[in-house]
Chain A
Amino acid sequence: DSGVTQTPKHLITATGQRVTLRCSPRSGDLSVYWYQQSLDQGLQFLIQYYNGEERAKGNILERFSAQQFPDLHSELNLSSLELGDSALYFCASSPGRTNTEAFFGQGTRLTVV
């Protein structure tokens, strides 16, 4: 168990809909990262938050947004969903002050039909 919790584990939704993925980092970790893993794109970095503030942005679509709350949990919001958004979405956390650790949650498998 990595200590990073993601919910839900599976999600099936229709095109055009909006979903929210949730991540609780390991206790004490300040940084949260979101990644998308699809068959054709591999593991793509989406966005990073550190202690509630956005720190870095990757290949995140405008239809996607995220935030990190005061209790350090994070949510990734995906809207106007398309078939191509079907993927495994990972959250990872790390302490933020050290560079030696980065643990992933079990992922949320999103299927858009």
Chain B
Amino acid sequence: AQKITQTQPGMFVQEKEAVTLDCTYDTSDPSYGLFWYKQPSSGEMIFLIYQGSYDQQNATEGRYSLNFQKARKSANLVISASQLGDSAMYFCAMREVPSSGSARQLTFGSGTQLTVLP
């Protein structure tokens, strides 16, 4: 079963507007982390933001915020004031932390290609 689902293969947003990229996840572990990465056309994977399952507040990093709705198992990325340089592929990922042992590997969604229009 898919653990991370990104339902938007492609999104368009006007420059300076805000955009929300959707991500839903599935886990039975009470402890887990949610990550968002940006992959521009050059290929590197850039870490954007992290949200822990026990964090009470939504994570924010500059123009990025994570809209964490635990009951719905969703972790949407919100980018405010979009810039042309935000055009890239965006990946949502989850890492489960079992009660015994170390954190597991990151499991990725299929990604959303964001295009910012001038």
A residues contacting B by CB (< 8 A) are 2, 31, 33, 42-43, 45, 48, 50, 55-56, 58, 88, 90, 92, 94, 96-97, 99-107, 109
Interface of A is mostly: strand
Bound complex: CA of A105 vs CA of B111, how far in Å?
A: 19
Contact present for A106 and B43 (CB under 8 Å): yes
B-side interface residues, number (CB < 8 Å): 25
Interface window among B16-24, B45-53, B68-76, B77-85:
B45-53
Given A33-B105, A42-B111, A99-B31, 10 other A-B residues pairs in contact with their CB atoms under 8 A: A2-B44, A31-B102, A50-B102, A90-B45, A92-B45, A92-B106, A96-B102, A96-B103, A105-B44, A107-B43
Contacts of A100 in B (CB 8 A): 33, 50, 52
Q: Tell me if B90 is interfacial: C-beta within 8 Å of chain A.
A: no
Partner of A94, one of B31, B103, B108, B111: B103
Contact present for A107 and B44 (CB under 8 Å): yes
Q: With contacts A43-B108, A45-B107 known, is A104 near B37, CB below 8 A?
A: yes
Contact present for A109 and B102 (CB under 8 Å): no
Bound complex: CA of A68 vs CA of B104, how far in Å?
A: 17
Contact present for B43 and A55 (CB under 8 Å): no
Contact present for B47 and A2 (CB under 8 Å): yes
Q: Tell me if B25 is interfacial: C-beta within 8 Å of chain A.
A: no
Contact present for A58 and B44 (CB under 8 Å): no
Name the residue in B45, B97, B106, B108 with the highest tally of chain A Cβ atoms < 10 Å from its Cβ.
B45
User: Which B residue sits closest to A106, measured CB to CB?
Assistant: B44
Contact present for B105 and A45 (CB under 8 Å): yes
